[in-house]
Amino acid sequence: MLNREERGAAARWAADTTWTKQERYLKDLDYMDCVSDILSHPVFQSMEQYIQHGATSCKSHCIQVSYLSYHICRKFGWDYKKAARAGLLHDLFLYDWHTHARETGNHFHGFTHPRTALNNAKQHFNLSKAEADIILCHMWPLTPIPPKSMAGMSVVYADKLCSLTETVLQVRGWFAVNFLYRMKFL
C-alpha cells in the first residue's frame, strides 16, 4: 500500500492539526465537491461539541480521516468520493463516548458505535451501500467483518492513524507536563 516514506508523511500530516483549524481542506475544490453537503449539515456541525481523542473534536477527527482516506484513494485510483463521504460520517454517534458507559451502561462503545453512526447517517444523508459498509466496518479488526472495498480499507487505515496520533499527542503532553512538574520545573 503506502511505502515507508509515505507512511511517515501521513503520520506527520495527521499530527499537524493546524490545517483542520485553518480549514485548508475547504480550498480543495475536488474534495468539497464530494462532501460539501455533509460538512454544512447541522448534524455534522454538532459533532464539534464532542471530544474524540485528547483535545480533538469528533468533527475534526472525522475531517482528518475523511481527507486522508480521500488522498489515499486518489493516489491508488480507488473510490475517493465514497471514502471521503464515509470518512466524514464514520463516527456520527452523537454522544460523549467518555461518559457514555457511565450514563447508559453500554461499555462496548468500540464495538457498537459503527452501527449507531450508520443509523444516524442514514437518518440525515443518502448513503450508497458502499458508504454504509465503510461506516459499519471502519473499526475492523476490532469488529469482525472487514470493509468490502479498498476505499473502506483506506478509512480503516486513516482512522487508526489519526486516532493513534491524537492519543499519542495527548499522552506525550500529559507526560511532559507531569514530568516537568515532578522535577520542579513548573
66 pLDDT above the threshold of 80? yes
- Name the nearest CA neighbour of 17 among 166, 138, 175, 153: 166
Phi-psi category of 96—alpha, beta or left, where left has phi over 0 and alpha has psi -120 to 50? Answer: beta
pTM, full prediction: 0.82
Q: Under a CB-based contact definition with an 8 Å cutoff, are residues 126 and 82 in contact?
A: no
CATH of residue 88's domain is 1.10.3210
Q: Average pLDDT, stretch 31-45?
A: 97
As a whole number of angstroms, the distance between CA 145 and CA 140 comes to: 6
Determine the pLDDT at residue 49: 87
Residue in the structure block whose three cell numbers are 452523537:
94
pLDDT digits (tens, 9 = 90+) for 126-164: 999 999 999 999 999 988 899 999 999 999 999 998 888
Task: Classify the C-alpha dihedral 141-131-68-44 as positive or negative.
Answer: negative
Determine the pLDDT at residue 1: 65
Domain that holds residue 8: 4-182
Q: How many domains does the chain have?
A: 1
Give phi and psi for 108, each to the nearest 5: -120, 40
CA distances from 131 to 40, 119, 141 (A): 19, 12, 18
Q: Average pLDDT, stretch 46-67?
A: 86
